């Protein structure tokens, strides 16, 4: 695995790999876990070469979020990626991505604004901006993101459609389904913040979500099913439900009725010290 941290050698390295077939990009902020490795495996199955970016993007951290405390483990991450068969690691410094005088921001309205976007103003602008730059830097044929962060995926898809970055122009954006534990809880580095008792209790989240989806499919009013879902989470040990919404899967507009289009149930709730997010097709 080759590692590059400047744009010119990145372009040269990608151009050399492109002769051998499709290039897949897996954007990350490092501190890699099983979820990232699932994206890498999926990328390897779909492309001749996989490029992984590791960049802790300052623009997606809010004023009250500790950018300096974000884990940085480049050596360990690099070893994992080499073992996973990644061809190229793109690990630029912040000054390479945002040189002095940098002044451009990409803001995707609508889809960025509700759910997690309401609590983290500017966060999805930072994500859209850096992902747009990564697409231009690497020019991948495909890019893979976890469906676990459905809002992020929806923002990136909207940005790429709006800026003509999606296939057939540039990149095919692939959402990779959430990997779950045996009891249904979505895998997340945040699960590590849970005590044994909280971890056991947290399985109520996917269970209650499935029940709400089944109830809506059977004709229960969306507002009632969501109220029951929130009550089940609180009864099951979550102390706060930040939101639980049925949304249009693309625009993330809240739905008060199921309708015929594709819909997603999206939830964020807190248990112990962890804020867990999950989403399912509804
Ligand atoms: O999901 C992440 O790790 C980040 O938000 C991403 C997509 C790499 C952009 O910095």
Give the chain as a 3 state SS string.
CEEECCHHHHHHHHHHHHCCCCEEEEEECCCCCHHHHHHHHHHHHHCCEEEEEECCCHHHCCCCCCCCCCCCCHHHHHHHHHHCCCCEEECCCHHHHCCCCCCCCCCCCCCCCCHHHHHCCCHHHHHHHHHHHHHHHHCCCEEEEECCCHHHHHHHHHHHHHCCCECCCCEEEEEECCCECCCCCECCHHHHHCCHHHHHHCCHHHHHHHHHHHHHHCCCCHHHHHHHHHHHHHHHCCCEEEEEEEEECCCCCECCCCCCCCEEEEEEEEECCEEEEEEEEC
For a mutational test of ligand 1's pocket, the pick from 39, 60, 98, i.e. the residue with the most ligand atoms closer than 8 A to its C-beta, is 60
- Out of 19, 33, 36, 169, the active site residue is 36
pTM of the entire predicted model? 0.96
Note the pLDDT tens digit of each residue in 213-271.
999 999 999 999 999 999 999 999 999 999 999 999 999 999 999 888 999 999 999 99
CATH class as words, domain 2-176: alpha beta
**Residue 117 CA, ligand 1 centroid: distance in Å:** 14
CATH 3.60.20.10 fits 189-276, yes or no: no
Atom nearest to 53 CA in ligand 1? 8
In the chain, where does the domain assigned CATH 3.40.50.620 lie?
A: 2-176
| Residue whose CA is at the smallest distance from ligand 1 atom 9 | 127
In the chain, where does the domain assigned CATH 3.30.1300.10 lie?
A: 189-276
Does residue 36 have an active-site annotation?
A: yes
User: Would the CB of 127 count as within 6 Å of ligand 1?
Assistant: yes
Note the pLDDT tens digit of each residue in 81-135.
999 999 999 999 999 999 999 999 999 999 999 999 999 999 999 999 999 999 9
């Amino acid at each position: 695995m080759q590692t590059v941290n400047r744009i010119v050698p990145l372009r040269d390295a990608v151009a050399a790999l492109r002769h051998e077939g499709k290039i897949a990009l897996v954007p990350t902020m490092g501190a890699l876990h099983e979820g990232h490795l699932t994206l890498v495996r999926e990328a390897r199955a779909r492309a001749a070469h996989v490029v992984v970016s590791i960049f802790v993007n300052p623009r997606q951290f809010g004023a009250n979020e500790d950018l300096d405390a974000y884990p940085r483990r480049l050596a360990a991450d690099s070893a994992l990626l080499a073992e996973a068969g990644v061809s190229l690691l793109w690990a630029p410094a912040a000054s390479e991505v945002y040189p002095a005088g940098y002044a451009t921001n990409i803001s995707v309205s609508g889809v960025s604004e509700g759910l997690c976007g309401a609590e983290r103003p500017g966060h999805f602008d930072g994500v859209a901006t850096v992902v747009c730059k990564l697409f231009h830097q690497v020019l991948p044929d495909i890019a893979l993101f976890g469906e676990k962060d459905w809002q992020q995926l929806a923002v990136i898809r909207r940005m790429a459609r709006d800026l003509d970055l999606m296939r057939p122009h540039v990149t095919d954006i692939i959402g990779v389904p959430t990997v779950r534990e045996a009891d249904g809880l979505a895998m997340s580095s945040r699960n590590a913040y849970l005590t044994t008792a909280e971890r056991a209790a947290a399985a109520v989240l996917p269970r209650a979500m499935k029940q709400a989806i089944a109830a809506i499919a059977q004709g229960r009013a969306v507002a009632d099913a969501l109220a029951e879902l929130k009550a089940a989470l609180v009864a099951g040990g979550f102390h706060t439900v930040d939101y639980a919404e049925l949304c249009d899967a693309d625009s993330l507009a809240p739905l008060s009725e199921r309708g015929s289009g594709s819909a997603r149930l999206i939830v964020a709730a807190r248990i112990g010290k962890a804020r867990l997010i999950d989403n399912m097709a509804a």
